Protein backbone atom coordinates (compact mmCIF):
# COMPACT_ATOMS: atom_id res chain seq x y z
CA UNK A 1 0.00 0.00 0.00
CA UNK A 2 1.37 3.42 -0.97
CA UNK A 3 1.56 6.52 1.20
CA UNK A 4 0.20 8.93 -1.40
CA UNK A 5 -0.73 12.39 -0.16
CA UNK A 6 -3.62 14.56 -1.32
CA UNK A 7 -2.45 17.24 -3.77
CA UNK A 8 -4.67 19.81 -2.02
CA UNK A 9 -4.42 19.25 1.74
CA UNK A 10 -1.60 16.72 2.13
CA UNK A 11 -3.72 14.10 3.95
CA UNK A 12 -3.29 10.42 3.16
CA UNK A 13 -5.12 9.24 0.04
CA UNK A 14 -6.98 5.94 0.38
CA UNK A 15 -8.48 4.04 -2.53
CA UNK A 16 -7.52 3.49 -6.14
CA UNK A 17 -3.85 3.53 -7.02
CA UNK A 18 -4.26 6.53 -9.38
CA UNK A 19 -6.30 8.60 -6.91
CA UNK A 20 -4.80 12.06 -6.23
CA UNK A 21 -7.18 13.60 -3.70
CA UNK A 22 -8.63 12.52 -0.38
CA UNK A 23 -12.12 13.89 -1.14
CA UNK A 24 -14.30 15.55 -3.77
CA UNK A 25 -13.91 18.81 -1.83
CA UNK A 26 -10.12 18.74 -2.18
CA UNK A 27 -10.33 17.75 -5.86
CA UNK A 28 -12.70 20.66 -6.58
CA UNK A 29 -10.67 23.15 -4.53
CA UNK A 30 -7.46 22.15 -6.33
CA UNK A 31 -9.01 22.34 -9.81
CA UNK A 32 -10.68 25.68 -9.04
CA UNK A 33 -7.27 27.13 -8.09
CA UNK A 34 -5.63 25.73 -11.23
CA UNK A 35 -8.37 27.04 -13.55
CA UNK A 36 -8.87 30.39 -11.80
CA UNK A 37 -6.55 32.48 -13.98
CA UNK A 38 -7.81 31.14 -17.31
CA UNK A 39 -11.44 31.43 -16.16
CA UNK A 40 -10.84 35.05 -15.12
CA UNK A 41 -9.29 35.85 -18.51
CA UNK A 42 -12.23 34.31 -20.35
CA UNK A 43 -14.80 35.99 -18.09
CA UNK A 44 -13.14 39.41 -18.43
CA UNK A 45 -12.82 39.07 -22.22
CA UNK A 46 -16.47 38.03 -22.56
CA UNK A 47 -17.56 40.97 -20.40
CA UNK A 48 -15.59 43.40 -22.57
CA UNK A 49 -17.03 41.85 -25.76
CA UNK A 50 -20.52 42.16 -24.27
CA UNK A 51 -19.83 45.84 -23.52
CA UNK A 52 -18.61 46.45 -27.09
CA UNK A 53 -21.72 44.72 -28.46
CA UNK A 54 -24.01 46.82 -26.26
CA UNK A 55 -22.31 50.07 -27.38
CA UNK A 56 -22.63 49.18 -31.06
CA UNK A 57 -26.26 48.08 -30.62
CA UNK A 58 -27.25 51.27 -28.81
CA UNK A 59 -25.59 53.54 -31.40
CA UNK A 60 -26.86 51.59 -34.42
CA UNK A 61 -30.63 51.40 -33.99
CA UNK A 62 -31.40 51.66 -37.73
CA UNK A 63 -29.05 48.92 -38.96
CA UNK A 64 -26.68 51.38 -40.61
CA UNK A 65 -25.36 54.62 -39.12
CA UNK A 66 -22.24 56.79 -38.92
CA UNK A 67 -20.51 57.78 -35.69
CA UNK A 68 -17.21 59.38 -34.73
CA UNK A 69 -14.32 57.54 -33.16
CA UNK A 70 -14.66 59.90 -30.18
CA UNK A 71 -18.27 58.77 -29.61
CA UNK A 72 -17.21 55.12 -29.49
CA UNK A 73 -14.18 55.90 -27.35
CA UNK A 74 -16.18 58.03 -24.87
CA UNK A 75 -18.62 55.17 -24.33
CA UNK A 76 -15.72 52.83 -23.51
CA UNK A 77 -15.51 50.89 -26.76
CA UNK A 78 -12.42 48.65 -26.98
CA UNK A 79 -11.20 48.57 -30.59
CA UNK A 80 -8.91 45.60 -29.86
CA UNK A 81 -11.76 43.19 -29.10
CA UNK A 82 -13.73 41.76 -32.00
CA UNK A 83 -15.19 38.36 -32.83
CA UNK A 84 -14.62 38.33 -36.61
CA UNK A 85 -13.48 40.22 -39.72
CA UNK A 86 -15.07 40.53 -43.13
CA UNK A 87 -12.96 41.78 -46.04
CA UNK A 88 -14.91 42.87 -49.12
CA UNK A 89 -13.80 42.32 -52.72
CA UNK A 90 -12.83 46.01 -52.79
CA UNK A 91 -10.53 45.43 -49.79
CA UNK A 92 -12.63 47.15 -47.11
CA UNK A 93 -12.36 45.49 -43.71
CA UNK A 94 -15.43 45.26 -41.50
CA UNK A 95 -14.77 44.45 -37.85
CA UNK A 96 -17.53 42.53 -36.05
CA UNK A 97 -18.58 41.96 -32.49
CA UNK A 98 -21.01 39.10 -33.08
CA UNK A 99 -23.49 40.55 -35.62
CA UNK A 100 -22.71 44.24 -34.96
CA UNK A 101 -19.96 45.58 -37.19
CA UNK A 102 -18.07 48.72 -38.07
CA UNK A 103 -16.02 50.03 -40.97
CA UNK A 104 -13.43 52.77 -40.59
CA UNK A 105 -14.15 55.71 -42.91
CA UNK A 106 -12.24 58.95 -43.46
CA UNK A 107 -11.92 61.72 -40.85
CA UNK A 108 -12.26 59.37 -37.85
CA UNK A 109 -15.78 58.36 -38.84
CA UNK A 110 -17.11 54.83 -38.58
CA UNK A 111 -19.98 53.20 -40.42
CA UNK A 112 -21.87 50.91 -38.05
CA UNK A 113 -23.70 47.99 -39.64
CA UNK A 114 -25.79 45.08 -38.44
CA UNK A 115 -25.45 41.68 -40.10
CA UNK A 116 -28.72 39.79 -40.52
For 27-50, the pLDDT digits (tens) are 999 988 887 877 888 999 999 999
Give the pLDDT of residue 2. Answer: 60
Q: What percent of the chain has pLDDT over 90?
A: 81
CA distance 106 to 44: 32
In a domain, 6, yes or no: no
Evaluate whether residue 79 is within a structural domain: yes
Tell me, yes or no, whether 15 lies in a domain: no
Question: Are 52 and 97 contacting, i.e. CB atoms less than 8 angstroms apart?
Answer: yes
Is 12 a domain residue? no
Domains in the chain: how many in total? 1
Is 18 contained in some domain?
A: no
Give the contacts of 18 (CB within 8 A, at least 6 positions apart).
none
In this model, does residue 96 exceed pLDDT 50? yes
What is the model's pTM? Answer: 0.71
Give the domain range for residue 45: 24-114
The reply to whether 3 falls in a domain is: no
Amino acid sequence: MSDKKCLECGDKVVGRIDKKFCSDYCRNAYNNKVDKESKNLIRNTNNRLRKNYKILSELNTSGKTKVTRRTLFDKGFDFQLITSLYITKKGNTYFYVYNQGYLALENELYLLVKQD
